[in-house]
Structure 1
Amino acid sequence: MLVFSGPRWAEAADAVADRALREVPFYRERLVGAGARGGPVPSAELADRLWALCPLASPFTPAREPTLWTGVPGDLAAAVRLAGRWGRATPVVEARPAWVPWTRLTPAGPAYAPVVVSTPDLDGPARARTPARPVLVAPPAAVAELTARLDHVGPVVLRLAAAEVSGHRGRAAVLFDPHLGYFAGRSPVCGHWHVLWRCFHVTATGGALVVTALRRRRPTLSRIAVPAGDFARVDLCRRHRTPVLLSDPAP
């Protein structure tokens, strides 16, 4: 079992930042006049630079591969497990802006189906999950429509941006960014927002959460800044001894 270590966590993020400067055009370009590693990169700045976020030795080739922004299925599975007390085999239905061909989030499960909010004609696989009481993952604005459209009777996990968390209570929820994907979830056990620390490193500074994807190379996501909302710092959960996002300032 992998045990959390703060120093090793920080070292892993530093290693990604150093590799990004050596291998990835986007970060090499930003380095000019920006200090040893450059400053955090606003997530919105990534939208039109997809091609530049892959290593020089393994460039993005749009003619031969789909977009790199489809996300990582395993990250969604981990976030959903963190946010609820349902079993590892509970199916997941996820609201998405575009279709993906996934049928499972990990090789051994759970079963998965996407649903495109704007395209009801693609609802078939998601509706087929309804008898198994799947978890529905969706932004708050889409929950009512999708629940009715899919005859959904299972649990709901809200997909929120960090800036939308203020005042959130009770309902299961996960944190999401369009470029980073799922990087934290609210534990029903302790009530804290836990970082998916095996996959992401997070710090809080200047009103932003600065997030590094520790396991991805295509795209390489190093020190990506998203608005922090009420989150003010990262600390350890007293119960779980792993990183959580807290709204109160450091003591």
Structure 2
Amino acid sequence: MSARRFSQRAWDQRFQAAVARAFATVPYYREMWAEAGAPLEEPVVTPVARLDAVLDRLYPLARPYERQREEPGWTGEPGELMEALKLTGDYRGEPLFEVRRALLDWERIGRARYHVVLGADAEVADPELRAAGVRAFHAAREPALLGDPAQIAALPAHPGRARVFLRRSLTDLGTRDSRHGEVVHDPRLGYLGGRYRTCGHVHLNWRRVHARQSPSGPLLTLLRRRRPTLAGISVPGTAHLGVQHCPEHGTPILREVAS
């Protein structure tokens, strides 16, 4: 990992550009100006729990959300997942099996094959779907496995060598399992970064995510995602997290701070 390409000034400028685009093109953010009666420099904070209620208004006017034709906008992109895995320093491009509650039509992340294993908490009409995913995982020679700690524990152990990655929420970053790689995930914001194995810090994927400090915790803006556009999002239970720079790598991290 290198900080040579990271610039705090450029990062903040990308945030400002994303916010300007949101105010100019996305109904939800345009309404903030109307309610304020004046232009705003930053969006009003939106709690992540409110995103479902305003989903239709988070899409650009030129490409509105078509509820009857599209899945909800929280799936994210394969590149977000790949980059989060790389931020752990442990992912080597193995075929990835992700434990999820629903199937996903991705086939690859980067050059690696991508598969879904339906977890024990997934609601399926045909139990064979879950069994087929587990069989495929066991048949893979040296796979990578990603899921919540409880999901991983519920799966039968791989008979050979599997590289395990744990999915951590923003409220669970104080817990670390040094045996496995860890990626940071939010159900609405997607994959946000990973804990790098050598320094132990939780690194934000700064090319895709901007974070600024607030009394309630980091406010997150997705710099590349347009549909939906997510800017100035707060996550409950993160007031203990600060946006800092890794002393080893110089790039943005999320770290517990003294109250």
TM-score of Structure 1 vs Structure 2, range by shorter chain: 0.7 to 0.9
Equivalence for 2:208: 199
Checking the alignment, whether the CA contact within 8 Å between 1:68 and 1:218 is kept in structure 2 is yes
State how many pairs are aligned.
246
Question: Match of 1:111, as an amino acid?
Answer: R
**Residue 76 in structure 1 maps to residue 81 in structure 2:** yes
Among 90, 96, 101, which residue is 2:100 paired with?
96
| Higher mean C-alpha deviation, range 5-14 or range 28-37 | 28-37
Q: Do the aligned partners of residues 122 and 71 (structure 1) sit closer, same or farther apart at CA in structure 2, a change above 3 Å counting?
A: farther
* Per-residue Cα deviation, 1:82-104 (whole angstroms, up to 9, x for no partner): 224231x2111112222111110
CA distance in 2, matches of 1:195, 1:92: 21
Question: Match of 1:209, as an amino acid?
Answer: P
CA distance in 1, matches of 2:12, 2:244: 13
Q: Do the aligned partners of residues 68 and 167 (structure 1) sit closer, same or farther apart at CA in structure 2, a change above 3 Å counting?
A: closer
Checking the alignment, whether the CA contact within 8 Å between 1:127 and 1:150 is kept in structure 2 is no
CA distance in 1, matches of 2:191, 2:162: 21
Among 33, 43, 53, which residue is 1:48 paired with?
53
Equivalence for 2:236: 227
CA distance in 1, matches of 2:21, 2:160: 44
Among 6, 16, 32, which residue is 1:4 paired with?
6
* Per-residue Cα deviation, 1:117-164 (whole angstroms, up to 9, x for no partner): 224532425532432322211112211112x17768512211111111
Question: Match of 1:62, as an amino acid?
Answer: R
Checking the alignment, whether the CA contact within 8 Å between 2:43 and 2:232 is kept in structure 1 is no
Among 36, 45, 48, which residue is 1:33 paired with?
36
CA RMSD of aligned residues (A): 2.4
Q: Do the aligned partners of residues 231 and 38 (structure 1) sit closer, same or farther apart at CA in structure 2, a change above 3 Å counting?
A: same
CA distance in 1, matches of 2:37, 2:223: 22
Equivalence for 2:149: 140
Question: Structure 2: where are the runs of 5+ without partners?
Answer: none
CA distance in 2, matches of 1:71, 1:57: 20
Which secondary structure does the structure 2 equivalent of 1:122 belong to? helix
Equivalence for 1:116: 118
Map 1:116-195 → 2, pairs under 5 A: 116-117=118-119, 118=122, 119=124, 120-123=127-130, 124-125=132-133, 127-130=135-138, 131-146=140-155, 148=156, 153-170=161-178, 171-195=180-204
CA distance in 2, matches of 1:66, 1:246: 33
Checking the alignment, whether the CA contact within 8 Å between 1:127 and 1:151 is kept in structure 2 is no
Which secondary structure does the structure 2 equivalent of 1:246 belong to? strand
Please give the TM-score of this superposition, normalised by the length of structure 1.
0.88
Q: 1:23 Cα deviation (Å)?
A: 0.9
Checking the alignment, whether the CA contact within 8 Å between 1:42 and 1:226 is kept in structure 2 is yes
Which secondary structure does the structure 2 equivalent of 1:79 belong to? helix
**Residue 237 in structure 1 maps to residue 257 in structure 2:** no
Question: Structure 1: where are the runs of 5+ without partners?
Answer: none
* Per-residue Cα deviation, 1:172-203 (whole angstroms, up to 9, x for no partner): 21111111100021000111100001111112
Q: 1:116 Cα deviation (Å)?
A: 2.3
